[in-house]
Structure 1
């Protein structure tokens, strides 16, 4: 029977999507819910799963083609396996057999009320197929264990899906209510999903590095001590088929059948499940079923049997992991997966990349200068790769800012020698008292926030109706360079915080960026942004304003150099000073050059005066 694959609704206002990549080719076998293709819309990039198991017989929409929601993308032929039509025929077939042998079947049914069909399976292939279909019905409809569902919550106004990056609990583990259960990554934030209730984790439905839409079921939690359902969750097709044929000689013991496959009292049903057991992570049932002739060797080979299926060649690798491997020049066939069933996770790829780089630093134990000369060319040279989701979001925001604002930049030079000396004197006592390190950043944030209160045009917003909103709070975003791209967590109410409060909040947000714990609230509500462009040695930069804000401050590298200064006793003299360039980029529609100059002058005066002794306890 042919099953149509259509483009589902991917959001309230999404009407069409573009096929960016087919993960399967025509003629390949697919499993139910296995990722089939990647689709991109104006709001989200996602994977479309296969609606049924079978063979991909036809691809209707090629890569880079755009179709409307509901359009047919491909056709899956499930005539040799599952489907709704064969399920409906599962019951009429015994009725056709009854007129031919009325007496034997009528007698057999009272004796074997639970399983009239399994005895006819070894002799008649049609009943065998008919039984295979009802076995799949409980998987698709109720393969999950009964209990409390763990669903992917809404993680932001425009977030429609998330990727499971790590499970913090395994199937069978006990969990407490609100205990972190898994980590999820979106295009805006990485966060932990807590357990909705206390109990035992019975089933994991979305593996690591797999994506799911908001509201999708991720796992099932049952009562404490309940039997887990890990096997059906990972291999829903192989396990139930083993459970059905094996009870034939036992007739009334479907549950103990999992312990009996090793002796293999009857090899006849083994050929039926054997083709589907190659990718199965369940070692013990898979090995004896695939090797009915070698009963003595089956238990010994059970453990290593899944290993070949978890390598880079045979096992399914998510697009996220595949892209990461390409960027880091990692051969997936050489990576050993640490995920469920041996699946390769992004952590495995990163570890392999670090291991490949390890010999280079060891060999080049010379000074840092020669390292730049012997640097290896990037693996991305000459390649054409897809733009990551977060990079697309950044690109859209940058273009929106440039197209909607008349941006201009003004630069001043600031002597921060006093600030640096104060920091050197106070950093040890500050760390002991406040529990965080004292970096130069809080001084700049403090001075910038204070100046915003005096210059409201720099801390404002131009509305679509032509009005101007002058903010009554200084919510300062701190631009942070991360592995995923540029992140801008926000210090709420920075204008009302002390130097210690700013330092603590800055350290907290930086820790969340590194550890992947930023929430949507941490990233929203900013009214002004500060970017430390000098962290990599740049003297200054012409920053693009973080739209819809109207200004952004850039901090260049602090450099010690000789400066002509007017000393009160020595007059004009040359001294070694700590100097830094501050750049203010702004929307000239609202902020004039004079406004920008006045704002920078106040920031400069506050920093050069260096009057922070009271807040530092000096």
Structure 2
């Protein structure tokens, strides 16, 4: 008996996904909840687990196929059951058997002593040599490693770091290099076992999906660059001596290339010599010497460049940086070698660079204040505007930016949106946070910001005012039975809305910890499908950037979003101890609420905002922050 593996629902409004990689092959034994494949959607990249234990009998969706939610991806049978797809490979292997003689004879023309074979079949020998290479046969010159599809609409990627060098032995699925795209940073595994013969894409190169990144040959085989000149000159009998002598210059040239950054003058001096030898008459000795300088630098310089780039981007603990972070570090004047990455696997994140830049700016004023006699001279340098590298350029919209754009336009034009605002006195939570923040961070391991106080008050108010914790379904209004807050998070890839489930049942401390966790995983790419689904109301903290006022757009199908703007100390009129009006300096904040006027009236929105206002101004959260 077999069981179908279908594509599950991967988020609200997600209707399809693209198969990016199969983690299991036909005939493999799988356990319950063991990952079977990886799927990419316009909202998340995730793994699909096996619903049952057994044997993978059939794969119905190949890599790069786009399938709809509910479509059958594979079939799993009882453990030990014969795979259903065994007959298909048998049929496909019939033509391969016919070409087997050609593959067997291929090594003969490739070796130097095989000139008789070349003379007897000059027309067919080159064809036999190229056929195994094109088919990536084990006996051929190597198999191409291409850039796979890394998600829907991803057309290119940037090589951030090579994990292997030319000549290294690799195993199947062993990581070869790291690639960064506009949606994901990932490792590219080796499709076969063997030796890395050639690197065709250097670090920081941007390559298209399907482009060849490297070539891998048999374990112990000579690098592909050595055999390339021989293959090109195979029809000519003069190539035999060149083929025999090629390994010697290759082996001697590879070691100086490792130290190329330190001996660049020697390399420059060797370049004219190589050009002179290339311009010499086409004699046999010249043919023997020319392949060495022509072919050796290509594979030999790759590890040198890789080593230099890796050193530039590496930090203690094996951390590395993506081009985006590297550019940010250059703009802020941050030395990457001095940063310890806090991301997955020691990765340096945008936040690490910003924290290092902020720490440097805090320490800078001390020496700058010493020369008190020339304050005017230092001021212009500090205030010099930075020119963006984007000026005058045209760039393609990233996938997340495109999705955000479409959703915002759909929400804005699909409902009657209106914004109401209240002003809130934050004196109580200001004092409470100052009193509790140090002990809270030591106890919980996260900072106590103002946002958890607002999300806690909003959650309580939504439980009372259900008309804002709702959604429109055709001609019906769905009032949700729990408060699932969507929290707007600014990430290097764009805006994301991870979800805090059952927020009304959690304390301020719980809110603080979960907000920090969701924000970190959103920026590091650690969110799963359920983490960005099923939101019933949204909160966006625009005040973190100093915004005084905002009119946020409601994300459909929700009907409300609250913005928490900047808390600013300013003079306000308050009631004195004897009931008189007095002017007092208070930390004040504006709370704009945007809502769908089709089902939420202005009076209802005002009632909700007043409930939030009273809860914040009362500030009775002592027990929830450990006081």
Check the 8 A contact 2:554/2:595 in 1, yes or no: yes
Per the alignment, residue 407 of structure 1 pairs with 417
- In the alignment, the residues of structure 2 paired with residue 302 and residue 570 of structure 1 have an alpha-carbon distance, to the nearest angstrom, of 90
1:253-272 matched pairs, under 5 angstroms: 262=250
Per the alignment, residue 133 of structure 1 pairs with 130
1:12–1:477 CA distance, 2 compared to 1 (3 A): closer
Q: Can you list the C-alpha shifts for 1:252-307, whole angstroms capped at 9, x where unaligned?
A: xx9x999556489xxxxxxxxxxxxxxxxxxxxxx99x977497898899875568
Check the 8 A contact 2:132/2:140 in 1, yes or no: no
Q: Can you list the C-alpha shifts for 1:72-110, whole angstroms capped at 9, x where unaligned?
A: xxxxxxxxxxxxxxxx9x99xx9xxxxxxxxxxxxxx9x
- In the alignment, the residues of structure 2 paired with residue 494 and residue 454 of structure 1 have an alpha-carbon distance, to the nearest angstrom, of 13
Tell whether 2:427 aligns with 1:417: yes
Tell whether 2:444 aligns with 1:434: yes
Check the 8 A contact 1:401/1:547 in 2, yes or no: yes
Q: Can you list the C-alpha shifts for 1:170-197, whole angstroms capped at 9, x where unaligned?
A: 47688999x999877676x647679899
Tell whether 2:623 aligns with 1:614: yes
1:211–1:422 CA distance, 2 compared to 1 (3 A): farther
Per the alignment, residue 498 of structure 2 pairs with 489
Q: Structure 1 residue 496: deviation in Å?
A: 2.1
Q: Secondary structure at the match of 2:551?
A: coil
Tell whether 2:452 aligns with 1:455: no
- In the alignment, the residues of structure 1 paired with residue 508 and residue 235 of structure 2 have an alpha-carbon distance, to the nearest angstrom, of 71
1:571-582 matched pairs, under 5 angstroms: 571-582=580-591
Q: Secondary structure at the match of 1:447?
A: helix
Q: Structure 1 residue 385: deviation in Å?
A: 3.9
Q: Structure 1 residue 481: deviation in Å?
A: 2.3
Q: Secondary structure at the match of 1:547?
A: coil
- In the alignment, the residues of structure 1 paired with residue 236 and residue 598 of structure 2 have an alpha-carbon distance, to the nearest angstrom, of 77
Per the alignment, residue 103 of structure 1 pairs with none
- In the alignment, the residues of structure 1 paired with residue 198 and residue 465 of structure 2 have an alpha-carbon distance, to the nearest angstrom, of 54
- In the alignment, the residues of structure 2 paired with residue 237 and residue 535 of structure 1 have an alpha-carbon distance, to the nearest angstrom, of 60
Q: Can you list the C-alpha shifts for 1:125-158, whole angstroms capped at 9, x where unaligned?
A: 6456434422433338998999xx99879x7xx7
2:575 maps to which of 550, 558, 566: 566
Unmatched segments (≥5 aa) in structure 1: 1-10, 15-41, 45-87, 95-108, 265-286, 313-335, 340-344
Q: Can you list the C-alpha shifts for 1:541-576, whole angstroms capped at 9, x where unaligned?
A: 111111221110011110011121124456432221
- In the alignment, the residues of structure 2 paired with residue 421 and residue 228 of structure 1 have an alpha-carbon distance, to the nearest angstrom, of 70
2:534 maps to which of 516, 525, 528: 525
Check the 8 A contact 1:203/1:228 in 2, yes or no: no
Per the alignment, residue 398 of structure 1 pairs with 408
Q: Structure 1 residue 514: deviation in Å?
A: 3.4
Q: Secondary structure at the match of 1:518?
A: coil
Tell whether 2:564 aligns with 1:589: no
1:296–1:123 CA distance, 2 compared to 1 (3 A): same
- In the alignment, the residues of structure 1 paired with residue 301 and residue 200 of structure 2 have an alpha-carbon distance, to the nearest angstrom, of 22
Check the 8 A contact 2:487/2:499 in 1, yes or no: yes
Check the 8 A contact 1:262/1:298 in 2, yes or no: no
Tell whether 2:326 aligns with 1:351: yes
1:186–1:150 CA distance, 2 compared to 1 (3 A): closer
1:55-454 matched pairs, under 5 angstroms: 118-121=115-118, 126-127=123-124, 129-139=126-136, 163=157, 170=164, 190=184, 210=207, 212=209, 227=219, 238=228, 241=231, 262=250, 293=286, 305=298, 347-348=322-323, 351=326, 354-355=329-330, 358=333, 373-454=383-464
Q: Structure 1 residue 591: deviation in Å?
A: 1.0
1:18-33 matched pairs, under 5 angstroms: none
Check the 8 A contact 2:196/2:223 in 1, yes or no: no
- In the alignment, the residues of structure 2 paired with residue 522 and residue 206 of structure 1 have an alpha-carbon distance, to the nearest angstrom, of 38
Q: Secondary structure at the match of 2:136?
A: helix
- In the alignment, the residues of structure 2 paired with residue 161 and residue 566 of structure 1 have an alpha-carbon distance, to the nearest angstrom, of 62
- In the alignment, the residues of structure 1 paired with residue 626 and residue 164 of structure 2 have an alpha-carbon distance, to the nearest angstrom, of 49
- In the alignment, the residues of structure 2 paired with residue 238 and residue 295 of structure 1 have an alpha-carbon distance, to the nearest angstrom, of 13
- In the alignment, the residues of structure 2 paired with residue 262 and residue 180 of structure 1 have an alpha-carbon distance, to the nearest angstrom, of 26
- In the alignment, the residues of structure 1 paired with residue 326 and residue 207 of structure 2 have an alpha-carbon distance, to the nearest angstrom, of 19
Check the 8 A contact 2:142/2:215 in 1, yes or no: yes
Per the alignment, residue 474 of structure 1 pairs with 483
TM-score w.r.t. the length of structure 1 is: 0.57
- In the alignment, the residues of structure 2 paired with residue 494 and residue 479 of structure 1 have an alpha-carbon distance, to the nearest angstrom, of 15
Identify the range of structure 1 (597-606 vs 515-524) with the bigger mean alpha-carbon deviation: 515-524
Q: Structure 1 residue 536: deviation in Å?
A: 1.9
Per the alignment, residue 555 of structure 1 pairs with 564
Q: Structure 1 residue 505: deviation in Å?
A: 1.3
Q: Structure 1 residue 351: deviation in Å?
A: 3.0
- In the alignment, the residues of structure 1 paired with residue 15 and residue 626 of structure 2 have an alpha-carbon distance, to the nearest angstrom, of 55
1:538 maps to which of 534, 540, 547: 547
Q: Secondary structure at the match of 2:488?
A: strand
- In the alignment, the residues of structure 1 paired with residue 190 and residue 297 of structure 2 have an alpha-carbon distance, to the nearest angstrom, of 36
1:397–1:430 CA distance, 2 compared to 1 (3 A): same
Q: What's the Cα RMSD here?
A: 5.9
Q: Secondary structure at the match of 1:426?
A: helix
2:524 maps to which of 508, 515, 526: 515
- In the alignment, the residues of structure 2 paired with residue 455 and residue 473 of structure 1 have an alpha-carbon distance, to the nearest angstrom, of 12
Check the 8 A contact 2:133/2:142 in 1, yes or no: no
Check the 8 A contact 2:226/2:246 in 1, yes or no: no
- In the alignment, the residues of structure 2 paired with residue 405 and residue 230 of structure 1 have an alpha-carbon distance, to the nearest angstrom, of 66
Larger RCO of the pair (alpha carbons < 8 Å, separation 6+): 2
Q: Is the helix fraction higher in 1 or 2?
A: 2
Check the 8 A contact 2:539/2:563 in 1, yes or no: yes
- In the alignment, the residues of structure 2 paired with residue 129 and residue 581 of structure 1 have an alpha-carbon distance, to the nearest angstrom, of 76
Aligned residues: 452
Q: Can you list the C-alpha shifts for 1:319-378, whole angstroms capped at 9, x where unaligned?
A: xxxxxxxxxxxxxxxxx8659xxxxx9935753564366399999968998578521443
Q: Structure 1 residue 498: deviation in Å?
A: 2.0
Q: Secondary structure at the match of 1:526?
A: coil
Tell whether 2:507 aligns with 1:498: yes
1:503–1:243 CA distance, 2 compared to 1 (3 A): farther
